[in-house]
Amino acid sequence: MSFIILNYHNGILPIYFLYFYKKKNVTTNINQIDFKKSLSGEEIAFLIGCSGANSKALREMAGQKAIELRGSKVWFRGLIEFSNVCIKDCFYCGIRKSNTKVPRYNLDDEAIIQAARYAFENRYGSVVLQSGERIDNKFIDRIDQLIKKIKEISDNKIGITLSLGEQTKETYQKWFNSGAHRYLLRIETTSKELYQKLHPVNKLHSFERRLEALKALKEIGYQTGSGVMVGLPSQTISDLANDLLFLKEFDIDMVGMGPYIEHEDTPLAKSSQSAYTQEERLHMTLNMIATLRLMMPDINIAASTALQAIDPMGREKAIKCGANIIMPNITPATERKNYQLYNNKPCIDESADDCLSCLQMRIAFTGRETGLGEWGDSLHFFKKQKNEQLKR
């Protein structure tokens, strides 16, 4: 599938693209788009790059759709970044294996359990276990035991999301059987050519392996989440349109999208410069959240921390244009500074209590409410389950 490549800068399309729009009768106004039908790649590209009144209307429409389908609640996922030890060497990532400037850490089990207990006692509803990638048996067994312990201390009342990278289907099944029920594995980009520019060429960094892992998660029965980075070097708006089409065609249950932010100690930051300013990346990300909310109204969409790294109100803006999940960081403050995938990560010097009160105020500012004591699962996931049962 091929799309128009739109080079969006400062909210203005170059004159020759405007001429192309007029000549080819391509959409130039949001009122020309019928959101009741499946959007074309060209329409999605237009929505991602639109600005001014079009962007304002898009975001307002998406924010209202989120409230209609998901209600006014924004659900918490207490984020525990328990280790920055990683076997991967992704060119964009601050905790990549080859970055020798990062002080490595690995929280002990009790610290992780204490963080989960904090989340449970403060009615977060769910926790996310996230770390650098490892695939050794010691790591796999440790995660399995942690899942069981978290379920035990919460009397099975707290939801568990994992974000632990590519694993075998057997490992995913083991963790699912022990109580994890959501898994986030970002595709990063659906352009294989661009994907290969972000990773070394070896068995640990394979586009096909990433796709197979996502398929395995879905087959096992996880609420499956994915997402992309916005504004990567060499990335076009047509690439981003393809990303949204992939998320819809894969029938994803939850999504986390954020702007690409450089980390100074990575090969990508040293060798390639994004064609987009950080403000443009933020703008496109918000448009993508809004567009995806209209394309897939009943999924869960996270307001990523990276948005706040660019704009102090970035996460609030994401909520107002369709996001309904937010992840307060409950990692012990002593280690937060060492889990920086990108520069200027916010909230690294705050305590869990600081994050809780801050985010509750931020959510209230948007006119929404915090969905405390609830898992806040993906309605899309359960709708799919019901449809599959009816087919049998």
List residues forming the annotated binding site.
Answer: 86, 90, 93, 163, 188, 210, 304
What is the spatial distance between Cα 316 and Cα 303, in angstroms, rounded to a whole number? 8
**Cβ–Cβ under 8 Å, residues 57 and 29:** no
Give the pair of three-digit tokens for residue 36. 């009741």
Please calculate the CA angle 238-240-243 and round it to the nearest 5 degrees: 115
Task: State the first-to-last Cα distance of the chain, in angstroms, to the nearest integer.
Answer: 33
What is the spatial distance between Cα 282 and Cα 230, in angstroms, rounded to a whole number? 8
Annotated binding site for [4Fe-4S] cluster: 86, 90, 93
What is the spatial distance between Cα 238 and Cα 4, in angstroms, rounded to a whole number? 6
For residue 127, the SS3 value is strand
**Cβ–Cβ under 8 Å, residues 288 and 240:** yes
What is the spatial distance between Cα 157 and Cα 278, in angstroms, rounded to a whole number? 39
Annotated binding site for S-adenosyl-L-methionine: 188, 210
SS3 content of the chain, % helix, strand, coil (to 5): 45, 15, 40
Annotated binding site for (3R)-3-methyl-D-ornithine: 163, 304
Place of tokens 């568990």: 160
